[in-house]
Amino acid sequence: MLSNSQIKHINSLKLKKYRDEFQEFIAEGSTLVADLINSRLEIRGVYALNQWITANTDLLERNKIAVFEAGPAEMQRISALSSPGPVLAIVKIPSDAGIVLEETDADTLEQIVPGIYNELSLMLEGISDPGNFGTILRIADWFGIRNVFCSENCVEVYNPKVVQASMGSVARVKVFYTDTGALLSKLAGRIPVYGTFMEGESIYSSTLKNKGIIIIGSETRGISYTVAGYVSNRLFIPSYGSLDYGKAESLNAAVAAAIVIAEFRRPSAI
């Protein structure tokens, strides 16, 4: 049985203000929580139904996790989901989150963001939908992209819906919120800057290198003028054929990210 102060604390973490204050976020669901327990992140506590605890004793003991048993009604009171799962975890926000890149010069960047000059990274502009944002982190994780740079008007990475959609990728991919234009001004000329637009060169005929930055803009506004000025390679995803009565005007931002990143990671010799 949970105390009122536990319930109140967990519910406070649904708001950014309290996530910032306590440096904690929540994650729910059996697969996601198990993934986070096995990750580099620190679990502050697990709140779960008796059956879940019994089924996961080894995992919990091996990782020395503090466990609190809750009933179905209590899970309902703490969950951020419409259908609560059998488990919710409080997770500590890692201490290396929230680094301010604006104040870093081009040479020091590599120490703070290993791989920035010789790997593929992602930049997101104005991705405000938490489901899309979390899905994009999961795609980056799947395709081995470890650094994601976000404009400050992107949704916060520890929003419960982002965490949920990322399915644990939030523990592996590093997310930096930064002035995207200022960052690109330091990178332009050193690495390719790929921007995804509604027109440009087809991703299928462009030379795609496995280093540089891929920029995904918001569905409604696209990539901002400031950021577009730094793009060295304008890419677009060609549509195919046409149904009798018109066709989709665009793709969802996460879907576009997936298709573009998959093309970068496609083995060139098959």
C-beta of 107: minimal distance to a copy of itself in Å? 24
Q: Rounded CA gap, 164 and 26, in Å? A: 9
Stretch 37-76 residues interacting with a copy of itself (CB under 8 A): 38-40
Q: Which of 177, 261, 250 is nearest to 218 (CA)?
A: 250
Residue type, 200: G
**Quick one: 100 or 202, whose CB is closer to a copy of itself?**
202
Interface characters, 137-166, with a copy of itself (x: CB under 8 A) = -xx-xxxx-x------------------x-
What is the footprint of a copy of itself within residues 171-200 (CB under 8 A)?
171-173
Q: Binders of a copy of itself: how many residues, by CB under 8 A? A: 49
DSSP class of residue 170 equals G
Q: Is 221 in the site for a copy of itself (CB under 8 A)?
A: no
265 is an interface residue for a copy of itself by CB under 8 A: yes
Instruction: Classify 62 in phi/psi space as left (phi over 0), alpha (psi -120 to 50) or beta.
Output: alpha
Q: How far is CA 25 from CA 17, 158, 238, in A?
A: 11, 6, 39
Q: Which residue has the tokens 């010789």?
A: 118
Residues in region 24-43 near a copy of itself by CB under 8 A: 31, 35, 38-40
| Distance of closest approach, residue 130 Cβ to a copy of itself, in angstroms | 11
The distance of closest approach from Cβ of residue 21 to a copy of itself in the complex, given in angstroms and rounded to an integer, is: 25
Q: 190 forms bridges with which residues in the sheet? A: none
State in angstroms the smallest separation of the CB of 161 from a copy of itself.
Answer: 11
95 part of the interface to a copy of itself, by CB under 8 A: no
Alpha-helical segments (H) within 79-157: 106-112, 130-142
